[in-house]
Amino acid sequence: MNNINIKSWKKTALNQYVHEADGNLALIALFTLGIIVALLHLHLRLRGLSIPGHHGMELMMTLLFGRMQSKNQWAAVIIATGAASTFLLHSIYLPVGQTVKPALFYLTNAFILDSLFKVVPVKSHIIFKGLVLGGISFIVKPVVTIPIAIYMEISFGSISKHGHFIPILMHFIFGSIGAICGITLANLMSYKRNN
């Protein structure tokens, strides 16, 4: 039997899977953030809160936090991929429309956020960044579904309860609030790391 010298094995810290050498979030950490977002969306059912777009707070907060903590230009898409795959796996027993639609909107929101992140000036005020990055990215769902509902003359979801304007407004507000929280959290983490 061969003697194996386990003392010569290189010990790998768990921290390398979370942070890269320069302190940025690693791919597996971004994907894990997406899993957390999907689980929050699936299990955080606020029964009394019948306001459209309220899940935008946790989604946009996580997307912006991850995007600002990573140098990967598609960090939000990686987070959304984790969220979409978790949502699809967890909701396998649901009808196709209820599982595919949220997964597609996760990816669409993240793609728009990553695209806008490249053009928004770095030195912009936090509220401006939140309005542009979070608000505009998160209104995709009502902006896509409302014209379809009008064209097909059907009413579903928040459109049937709140009309056409309120879903767009509330998605914008919740997306902006979540983005501002995510930016603030990322700035606090960067400040703590640098000091």
pLDDT in tens, 130-146: 899 999 999 988 888 77
The domain spans of the chain are 15-194
Please determine, for residue 9, whether its predicted confidence score (pLDDT) is greater than 50: no
Q: Is 54 exposed, middle or buried (0-12, 13-18, 19+ CB in 10 A)?
A: middle
**What residues are paired with 19 via a beta bridge?**
25
**Main-chain dihedrals φ then ψ at residue 89, nearest 5 degrees:** -70, -40
Inform me whether the pLDDT recorded for 61 exceeds 80: yes
Please give the Cα distance from 178 to 60 (Å, whole number). 5
Tell me the C-alpha distance between 38 and 36, whole Å.
6
Residues of the chain with pLDDT > 90, as a percent, come to 33
User: Distances in Å between the alpha carbon of 183 and those of 15, 42, 56, 94, 158?
Assistant: 23, 24, 14, 34, 28
| pLDDT, greater one: 62 or 49 | 62
Look at residue 84 in the predicted model and tell me its pLDDT: 93
Q: Please give the pLDDT value at position 93.
A: 73
pLDDT at 22: 55
Average pLDDT, integer, range 14-39: 74
Mean pLDDT value across the chain: 81
What's residue 183's pLDDT? 92
Confidence of residue 90 (pLDDT cuts 50, 70, 90): confident
* Percentage of residues in the chain having pLDDT higher than 70: 75
Tell me the C-alpha distance between 180 and 178, whole Å: 6
pLDDT at 149: 72
pTM: 0.80
